[in-house]
Amino acid sequence: MAEVEYYRKQWDPGIGEVITSVAVHADKRVFRCTSVGDLQKTLKGARLLRSEASGKQMLFRFSKEAWLGIHLGMTGTLYTDSSQFRPGKHDHLVLFQRKHALVFADMRQFGLIRFEQSPNPPEWWSGLAPSISSDSFTLERMRDFLKRHPKLPIKASLLLQAGFPGVGNWMADEILWLARINPHSKPDDLSPEKLGKLWKAIRFVCRAAIERIGSDFSEPPKGWLFHERWSANGHCPRDKSLLHRETIAGRTAVWCGRCQPPIKRSGKRTKVSSIPTR
């Protein structure tokens, strides 16, 4: 969510300005849920009014009751260039203004553009899970969501956008490390005390990430797992032990075996299949 917040702001210079023309690569997958013709016809002459982000989604509001939704996928980016900008092969949507060009680029095309025209926000936007930073993301809501996925490792659960919108892979590792929870743990393994620590860690990591990364793409604060998790020989910032690295539910997980030991089940510890990389 922090990266999404950063990219959302990249179109801020265009707020209040009129779209003079629209350039698209109409045959690209990013438009798979959109009528490109309606998008071009409606946005030309419309004024960008505001934008907001929720989880991994962005929504841009224009005059003429127009709404533009963007999901960056894995390689999508937003940026602003001069009005003399000429789109490259990966610049699939460009909104030209008198002084600016608002560009959406996506090399691998896992992103998504949605366009709608209506007096109210699109239904897909209104139906999104509440932001983790909002008052609606309560401890009780988190508990209820985890109970619906009792067999998933907690690492995989944190990546479910229906419950934890905007939490990405590195953030999930950071949250579990801060809460001292092993990524293989199941929701039923976690005591009420551990669930409380997990909820607090989620709120803290997400808010701090938005403040640092979402503002100017700065790295997270010193002392975070983030600075060690990318290295094959990374060490725990707390106790300096070598970090474990393993694929869990299709995603790389990094954790400290000492700070985040497996939780005992029926007198036995859960098996940890990973071997620290040396």
What domains appear along the chain, each with residue ranges and CATH number?
Answer: 2-126 (3.20.190.10), 139-269 (1.10.8.50)
29-43, 161-175, 209-223: segment of lowest average pLDDT: 209-223
Tokens of residue 243, six digits: 């970090």
19-28, 64-73, 109-118, 204-213: segment of lowest average pLDDT: 204-213
With contact defined as beta carbons under 8 Å apart, do 7 and 210 qualify? Answer: no
| Amino acid at the residue 121 | P
Beta-carbon count within 10 A of 40 CB:
17
Banded pLDDT at 268 (limits 50, 70, 90) = very low
Tokens 């533009």 locate to 68
pTM of the model: 0.77
- Give the per-residue pLDDT at 56: 86
Average pLDDT across the chain, whole number: 91
The whole-angstrom separation of Cα 146 and Cα 34 is 33
- Give the per-residue pLDDT at 1: 72
| pLDDT higher than 50, residue 270 | no
| Amino acid at the residue 56 | K
- Give the per-residue pLDDT at 275: 34
Banded pLDDT at 18 (limits 50, 70, 90) = very high
86 Cβ contact list (under 8 Å, min separation 6): none
Q: How many percent of the chain have pLDDT more than 90?
A: 76
The whole-angstrom separation of Cα 142 and Cα 199 is 7
143-152, 226-235, 266-275: segment of lowest average pLDDT: 266-275
